[in-house]
């Protein structure tokens, strides 16, 4: 199965605008959006484009830079570490990778799910000239919380929570 260059995000249920007495219209944006990445070298770019479009739709410009960086790091890790050993860049037999954004009261949850059983780990020390190994340190620095959820029989989701600066009421 091949994905278009600009796949449409899959959004959760949406609500119609409802006027609230003296408080303006309720936020009408969907609460969850997800996208299956192609599994090719273009997957990280797809993840960034999807995140940028979704945050624009949700009017979360204040989260954009941090969310784009976090999603880039999580997607890059999944694309690099979750590949099947015999897959090539053009092979669609690579592990399935999903990006999911969830708007919760006061937080944006950025999550990437892959089929790899290897758990993420932050290196204890990264040398100044090393090209790899800083991704999860960046995620840790930008997020209020981050972690992973392991699935049976295989796979995991690595997630990070970013503050939105919104009140709980603004997210309903």
Identify the structural domains of the chain with CATH numbers, from first to last: 30-120+135-171 (3.30.565.10)
Tens digit of each residue's pLDDT (9 = 90 or more) over 89-125: 444 445 689 999 999 988 999 999 998 888 877 666 6
Q: What is the pLDDT of residue 95?
A: 65
Q: Are 97 and 136 in contact (CB under 8 A)?
A: no
Q: What is the pLDDT of residue 128?
A: 66
In sign, the C-alpha dihedral spanning 69, 79, 46, 131 is positive
Q: What is the pLDDT of residue 165?
A: 83
Give residue for tokens 């995000």: 9
Q: What is the pLDDT of residue 116?
A: 87
Q: What is the pLDDT of residue 91?
A: 47
Return d(Cα 50, Cα 58) in angstroms, integer.
Answer: 12
C-alpha torsion angle, residues 156, 132, 68, 119 (rounded to 10) = 10
- Ranges under pLDDT 70 in the chain: 1-30, 83-95, 122-133, 167-172
Q: What pTM, to 2 d.p., does this model score?
A: 0.73
- Partnered with residue 112 across adjacent β-strands are 99, 158
Give me the long-range contacts of 52-56 (CB less than 8 A, separation at least 24): 53/9, 54/9, 54/101, 55/101, 55/108
């Amino acid at each position: 199965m091949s994905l278009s260059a600009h796949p449409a995000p899959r959004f959760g249920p949406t609500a119609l605008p409802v006027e609230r007495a003296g408080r303006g219209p309720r936020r009408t944006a969907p609460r969850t959006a997800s996208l299956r990445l192609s599994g090719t070298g273009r997957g990280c770019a797809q993840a960034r484009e999807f995140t940028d479009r979704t945050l624009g739709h949700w009017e979360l410009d204040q989260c954009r830079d941090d969310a784009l960086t976090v999603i880039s790091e999580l997607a890059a890790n999944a694309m690099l570490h979750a590949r099947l050993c015999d897959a090539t860049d053009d092979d669609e037999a690579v592990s399935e990778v999903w990006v999911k954004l969830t708007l919760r009261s006061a937080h944006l949850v950025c999550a990437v799910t892959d089929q790899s059983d290897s758990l993420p780990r932050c290196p204890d020390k990264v040398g100044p000239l090393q090209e790899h190994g800083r991704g999860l340190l960046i995620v840790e620095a930008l997020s209020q919380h981050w972690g992973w959820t392991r699935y049976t029989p295989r796979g995991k989701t690595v997630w990070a929570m970013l503050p939105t600066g919104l009140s709980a009421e603004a997210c309903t």
